[in-house]
Every structure is written in structure tokens, then in C-alpha cells.
Chain A
């Protein structure tokens, strides 16, 4: 059995999966002030009366680090940056302890100007005096030569407990993002560590000594132990959980648009070839562009609880949310109220919903029912417009070879999958408006937790080799090895695959989860004065986001009928009913 748990902004969802079925599902209100208790309560309910040895793993997706960043609760982090010529690194200042030092490395990874150790020693002294215990060190082109970052880390280690060198987080060339990413990593580390250690201890105290996995922003999992080196990857895993929940139902013959319609926002994602698309460089976290591998999702401020109003005769939805729908005691009409008016939603105050929509109807001079339809159509149109823009943007993504430009694959969804609260009610409307076959994901209300439970490990290795310099380098792995003149792309690929396999195993992947894929594969002959002096090789291999093998072929039906022989549990799977925010789905015995 597998536990999946997703802590969302309003709810924490948990599921227990086994034998291809959802054996149990739990929904509790999220208490942002006490995430730990909330997670423990959820885990307690899921594991009640389950023999510990029956559980193989638990996968957690939390907003913990996201919250701590949003709330600015992170401790003081020292940032030391060595840039050399180029854009002034003062532009990338982050936090109150940001220092730019001498030293420079060029694009081939050659040292142009050495570091001045004295400068860094002085900064170390300041950190000591100001009690700054965690730091990030970043140098330009450190992924071509991590020497300066390692040297800075060594010096700062005398005052800091943790020093995060930028090259260890990503091999992608982007100095400003490397700075932001290293800062994030250093910043969220203690919150992340403390939380998950506490969860592990709590489970252990109840006899559950199970491997704990953390969901990452790219929709992959990694073991808690591995996540301690790159905690920044677990920030912003919320959209990933839901997106993966939709994956088993995606078409295998065409592209899929995934819409997670929540209370205040709708998250949009795309599957190509049953694989969620990733951001080309990295995700944006708390307004900062980073190198964190992340699913390509777009969030728009339209959801079931978005405020509905009429301004200058025009119907508007969002971007704000003023509390819940009036049917649930709120003060402003919402699309959810429109569902109540049309008799689509139950367990709420229909009269209140009508009361909410009636001034809107009056202003538009149409009936309340027409108003309700108009609201839902408008919400759907806004979502569709945003999805189209997102797809256009993905299709506009530049490519750098003639072959790719001419072959130019364009995304063109053949189906839409919806999940989240109002998913089943939006689906027919979306289908009508787009002409694209649309359906709500079975178990759409806990698809996020299911997604977390089923997610497989993802890892990536980038290897760079320069045979003129006689060096192969995989910066994230702290790997470097001398290579001879004959080292070529093929050798680089097999070296990278070997490194990737080791990385996957270290991150807790089982052998069956590892399906290597080459995503970048370049070899350039370096010519100087008309003769070849070496090869410049860049390869990138990865395991892509997806489902663990045992869940890969889960048919829809398996989710709909769930029988657990030893704990007779009924699961609400009626797609026609809107599950309200406040009702708990748990029916424990």
C-alpha cells in the first residue's frame, strides 16, 4: 500500500492506495499555522488499523516551504557572488547579506581572475559576527568550473553550518537564476528538514518505519534523505500533485490539456505523449525565476470562489476572492453560486445563492438562470483563453537547429481533463466551447493526493566535456574526470547515463522506475586555425515525470470501484455531486 498526501492551501488530502484501488481517502482543513499537526492528523486517519509492514512508501507534497517564503519567515542568509565582467551582479541582490567579490571564470570554464581569499575571509568574519549560519555561494560559469564556488564554500564553512554552492543545484547556464536558486535552497533548508524529520519521527512512534518521499515541482519524487541536498526542488509541488493525478486518464494518442479548477485559481498544464511538459529553464518561485525543474503550469485567478460582479454593464469574474460562495455563507456571489442556482451543486443554501445572483441579473437585465449560465460560460472562456495563450507560448519556444525548426512540433490538444471542485460541471461547458472532448478526472476531488502517491522519481544529469581542456564535468553530481582526445559523444552519453542511474538510486528510485531518456546531445568540433583542437560535448539525460510502474496502467474503472476487504470503506465517487469545501469525505469505520 502507498500513502499519498497533498497539503493544499485550504485542504489537506490523503489517500491510501493498494491493489490498484483507492482504499481510503481523507480530507481535512489545512491549518497553515500548524501544518505538522494537520499532516499528522491526516496520516493518522489514513493509517488507522493498517498494519505497518503493509505500507511500502508515503509521498508528501506540502506547501510548507512555499508558505515560509511567502511569509518572509526565512532566516538571514548570506549570499556571496563572484561575477567578473558582465551585467552588474548588484542587480541580483537578494536578502540583506549580499556580497560581490573578485574572481572570474570564462565560458569555457577557464579561470580569468582568481578569487581574493582575503575578501571572502572578511565576509566569513562578518557572517560570524552577525550570526549568519547559512550561506549560498555563486560564481559565473561555475557549472563549467566549480572551483571558485568550492573555494568560497571552504572559507565560509568556518562561520556557517550550511553553504550551498550554486553548481550543485543545476547545470543550466543562467547566473541570475543560479543566485536565486542557491539562496532559496539555503533558505528553506532548516524548515524543510525540521518538518520532515518530525513527520518521520511521528510515523516511527506509531510503528511506521516507511520510506518517506517528497514530491518535487517537476512532478517527480525523491527520498526525504536526498531532498536534504536540494530542498528547493520541493517548493511549489502543489500543481504537480494534481497534474499527476490526471495522468492515468490522459490520451496516449494526442496532447492533453489539464485544468485544475480550484476555489480561487485554475492551474493549467499540458501533457504531450502522456508526459507533463516542463518549464524550459526552471520554475518561478515567490516571484523569482529559478533553475528549479518544474512542470510547465500556468495559474489564472478564476475559480469556483472568484468574486462575480458587474462593472459598467460588463460581467466580471475575479481576480479577487472575497470568501466562500454565498451558498456557503459568503458575502459575494461566485461561479459556485451559479452552480447552485442551476441545481448542479448540493449541500448548500440555494436561496442564498439566488440572492447573490439576483442583483447581478438585475444589472444585466436577464433572468437569474441566464445569469448563472452566463457566469459559468464566462469563467470557462477565461480559462480557455489562458490555456490557448499558454499553448501558443509553448509552441513559440525557440529552437536552435535547422532540423528542429523545420520539423517544429506544435501542441494541439485532443482532449481536456478537468479536476478540482467544480470540475464535472465545467467539463460539458468547456467541451461545448472548445469542441474538444472534455471529461472530469475520476476521483477529481482527491486526484492531487493520488497524483502524489503514484509519482515516480525524476532525476536529471548534465554532462559537459571539453577534450581540449581534457575534462568531463557533471557539476550537480560533483563529478569531474580527465578525458582523452578520443572522448566523444557516445562515451559522454554512457558516462551520463551511468551517473543518472546512480543518482536515481540515491534518490530512492526502484530499478523499475528508471527509464533513461536523452534530452540534449550535442558534439561540436572545436576548430582553431582550420584544424581540429578538440570536441565540445554537451549531453543531458533524464528520467521524466510519470507514474510508478504499478500505477502506470490503472484504468479509470479501478478508481471507481474500491473495495478493501478488511476495512469496509465506502468511497464517494458520484461524479454528479459537488463536494463542498467543508464536508469531510472521510467515512471511517
Chain B
């Protein structure tokens, strides 16, 4: 019998009875052909590859990450809970040391879901990676985590959630935001005042091929990871950077993805996007699984794979080199900026408009961070949608100092409901969550 060199775990949950709507890319059929390929290749019979049933994420799990308006129940379906639960299951199995790596092949995705959730953005409601990470931190005391988001779209939700967390390194490789949804993810987006340099964006030009992705990996991602020294590496394994994907313009391949996985060696991979359901996903997923398991993936390829026709031009290579240089600079300068901002307690704020493409609503958000020499600082978010619901959310970070924690409770207690639909308090030091109506 075939056996893997690393013991790995898979959660495979195609949700064959769930769709955003019947013709939406996020529909029942999405993982059908992936299932066929995975089954036909006999992946689950390989000694050392185990399949797990997903857990179902709870409201408690979501409350470690999000402020759901009006509540968790209203912005999720069972399918979202299973998807997040699938990631959570893989994470626990890795932390329990039952497996050395794992892959949550689940849908729907989650990397566009931000901290405040008013509805669906980019097919995402809740952030499945963040829910997993915060659960693992709570249950297993994990501290430093790196997320490498290789989905073709900028992982703006994950970036938002970890914007102010210096212990979570978020690296996103994606198609340049000037050419694709959600239009963000530029090298200038480098993290909040207390976490500068722990958000790294690598926007790659359209038609980037294997060569370009692997160049960014070898020259930016891996060296930065090496210095950050995470306890866990998570890969948001979106597969819409494939050359056949209908909604993007990149030239990545199953071979390239398997190679990337084998070099990145993530502890946990979580499926994100990927809508070339027949021509890409079946092959990419098999490639990722074999690479995670430390097995030979050299013979995995799409029926129409032709590396010569996919090669990127020299112009593209030059652009990528430049992006890599900029990202290294962001990383190198981050520590000093963080240090400067946190020397004494200061207020930083930013205002944003966030568009929920799926639900067609606009959120106007004002975020205020009070930096602190002792901790990541107190975060408050005042958010309102164009439909009128205004909320105040207070986030006390996981390693908050006593003063910041007290300040958080004070804001929550002393703010009156006038003008607010809900007021939330998320205390990550005690794993508590409060709502005022």
C-alpha cells in the first residue's frame, strides 16, 4: 500500500446541498470534480492520510474573532459553521500531534470576512482561518502564527482581523488590486500602528506564472517567515490563481501549487477560493495533498497543462522583483515603526468605507487604537451601514495589559445606547463577549 512520509489529516466537506444561489460560483457543484479526482486517485487509502469529520463551529468560536451584527445566527448558515469547524478540526488534530499537517478542503471560504460582519463579502461571511487560529490560541496556548494567503484575491478580511496584532504575521500574495476584487492589498498596507510590518502584501501582476509565485515565495515569504519564527504556519489555499480560473487572470498551475506547498510546508492549509471547478481544482487539490504528505507530485497535471504557453514575460518578472523588494523593506522597517508608535500611549484612528459586494451594502467604519507600551493596545470600532445600523465594538486584545483591559470595560460600560443599535465588548484576555442592546 502507498504510504506518505508525513502523517497528514484532511477534512473534506463539499457541502453538496448548499449554495449561495443556484448559479453562483459558490454552489453545490464546486467540489464535485475534486471529490471525483481525490476518490479516483485513492487518496484516502494512502497509509498516513486520515480523513476527519468536520466539527461545527459555535457562536463562542465566532465571538473570539468577529462582531456579528445583529448576531452570529443572523449572518451565518450551518454551512459556514461546518466550514469553520472543518478548519478548527484540522487545527486541533495538528496541535494534538495526531497529524503533522492538515488540509481543510471546505466551502464556503472566509478570507474576505472582516472583524465586523454586517453581511456577506466576496462569498465570505465568517473568517474560517481566524476562527480556527483564535480557537487554537485559546485551547492550546499557541502564540505566534503566520498566515500565508495565496488566494488570487487579496485576503482583506484576514488582514483586517489581524491588522493590529503583532503576533500574527499576515502575508497575502494576490493579483494586483488595480485589476481585481477587492481592490486592496498594496505594498503600502503594512499593518496598524502597533503591528506595523506584520502585514505584508505582495500584489502580483496579471499573468504571473509558476516562476513568479515561486520567486515571491523564495525571496520574500520564506525569508520573512524565517525571521518571524511562527509556531504555526497557515496557508489560505485559494486556487483561483489557476490559469483556467474564470474570474481571475493569473497563470498558476497544479504543479506550481504543489511545489509552493512543498516549500512553504504549512502546518494547516485551508481552501479558500477557486472557481475553475473542472479544470483546476481536481488537480490542484490532489497536488497540494501529495505535497503536504511529502509524496511525489511530479506526475500531477491538468489535461491541458503546457508550461511553455504559460510562461511570464520579462516585464512581469521585473514587476515582481520590485514588489518583493518593497515587501522586504516593509518587513525590515516594521519593528522600528511599531516601537516608535508604542513608546507611549497615543490615539490612532482610520476611517473606511467597506463594500459588501454580495449583500450590496456599504459600511462606514471609524477605528481607533490607543497604543500602549505594555500591550497591543485597546481597539474600538464605530461602524454603521448605509441601511442605518450603527454599532460600537470594543476589542481587548489577547495579551492586553491590566490598564487597557480596564479601559475597554470602561468604554463599554460608560457608552450610552443613544444612536447605537448594539454595543459589543470582546475581551480576549478572559475569552468573554458582551452585547448591549
Contact = CB atoms under 8 A, between A and B. Distances in A.
Interface in B285-299: 286, 290, 295-296, 299
A141 to B, nearest CB: 6
B282 A400 contact: no
A442 B300 CA distance: 56
User: Most A CB atoms within 10 A — which of B18, B32, B283, B302?
Assistant: B32
A524 B299 contact: no
Contact of B1 (A289, A524, A527): A289
Contacts of B54: 405
Contacts of B45: 174, 176-177, 289
Interface in B12-33: 12-18, 22-23, 27-29, 32-33
A536 to B, nearest CB: 7
A176 B2 contact: yes
Contacts of B41: 86-87, 175-176
B51 to A, nearest CB: 5
A91 B51 CA distance: 21
Interface in A173-222: 173-177
B36 interface: yes
Contacts of B2: 87, 91-92, 176
Interface string A388-407: 00000000111111110110
Contacts of A289: 1, 45
A256 to B, nearest CB: 24
Given A85-B301, A176-B2, A525-B22, A402 B14 contact: no
Interface string B254-298: 000000000000000000000000100011001000100001100
B299 A536 contact: no
B52 interface: yes
Given A91-B2, A396-B52, A529-B246, A85 B299 contact: yes
A532 interface: yes
A29 to B, nearest CB: 35
A576 interface: no
A173 B39 CA distance: 6
B23 A532 contact: yes
A469 to B, nearest CB: 12
Contacts of A85: 283, 299-303, 305
Given A173-B39, A177-B42, A522 B52 contact: no
Contacts, number: 115
Contact of A107 (B12, B36, B78, B300): B36
A140 interface: yes
B305 to A, nearest CB: 8
A406 B282 CA distance: 26
A112 interface: yes
A257 B11 CA distance: 29
Contacts of A405: 13, 53-54, 56, 78, 82
A88 B40 contact: no
A88 B41 CA distance: 10
B365 interface: no
Given A91-B2, A174-B42, A524-B28, A400 B35 contact: yes
B240 to A, nearest CB: 16
Contacts of A525: 22-23, 27-29
A71 to B, nearest CB: 21
A530 B25 CA distance: 8
B209 interface: no
Contacts of B187: none
A180 to B, nearest CB: 10
A287 B334 CA distance: 57
Given A174-B42, A524-B28, A401 B15 contact: yes
Between A91, A107, A396, the greatest number of chain B beta carbons within 10 A of the residue's beta carbon is seen for A107
B9 to A, nearest CB: 11
B37 interface: yes
A172 B18 CA distance: 24
B12 A400 contact: yes
Please indicate which of the listed interface residues B1, B54, B295 has the most CB atoms of chain A within 10 Å of its own CB.
B1
Nearest to B305: A85
Interface in A503-551: 522, 524-527, 529-532, 536
Interface residues of B, number: 47
A121 B23 CA distance: 47
A468 to B, nearest CB: 11
B37 to A, nearest CB: 5
A462 interface: no
A407 to B, nearest CB: 11
A524 B35 CA distance: 13
For B27, B36, B51, B52, which residue has the most chain A Cβ atoms within 10 angstroms? B36
B158 interface: no
A-side interface size class:
35 or more
Contacts of A397: 53
B109 to A, nearest CB: 16
Nearest to B78: A402
B216 to A, nearest CB: 26
Nearest to B11: A398
A86 B299 contact: yes
B370 to A, nearest CB: 42
Interface in B35-67: 35-37, 39-42, 45, 51-54, 56
B79 interface: yes
B314 to A, nearest CB: 30
Contacts of A144: 36
A85 B56 CA distance: 36
A104 interface: yes
B40 A107 contact: yes
Nearest to A406: B78
A530 B23 contact: yes
B303 A403 contact: no
A65 to B, nearest CB: 21
A238 to B, nearest CB: 23
Interface in A235-259: none
Nearest to A530: B23
Contacts of B22: 525, 527
In this complex, which of A87, A140, A141, A176 has the most chain B Cβ atoms within 10 angstroms of its Cβ? A87
A398 B303 CA distance: 29
A403 to B, nearest CB: 6
A405 to B, nearest CB: 6
A126 B246 CA distance: 47
Interface in A251-300: 288-289
Nearest to A531: B23
Contact of A86 (B15, B79, B286): B286
B299 A400 contact: no
Nearest to A111: B303
A140 B2 CA distance: 17
A320 interface: no
A112 B286 CA distance: 18
A161 B408 CA distance: 82
Interface in A491-505: none
A498 to B, nearest CB: 25
A108 interface: yes
A569 interface: no
A106 interface: yes
Top 4 A-B residue pairs of the complex, sorted by shortest distance between their CB atoms: A176-B42, A173-B39, A112-B303, A107-B36
11 contacts: A85-B303, A86-B41, A86-B299, A87-B296, A107-B36, A398-B12, A401-B17, A402-B15, A402-B78, A405-B13, A532-B23
Given A403-B17, A526-B29, A536-B29, 19 more contacts: A84-B303, A85-B299, A87-B42, A87-B300, A106-B303, A107-B278, A141-B36, A176-B2, A289-B45, A397-B53, A398-B12, A398-B13, A399-B53, A401-B17, A405-B56, A522-B16, A524-B28, A525-B23, A527-B29
Interface of B: 1-2, 11-18, 22-23, 27-29, 32-33, 35-37, 39-42, 45, 51-54, 56, 78-79, 82, 246, 278, 282-283, 286, 290, 295-296, 299-303, 305
Interface of A: 84-88, 91-92, 104, 106-108, 112, 140-141, 144, 172-177, 288-289, 396-403, 405-406, 522, 524-527, 529-532, 536
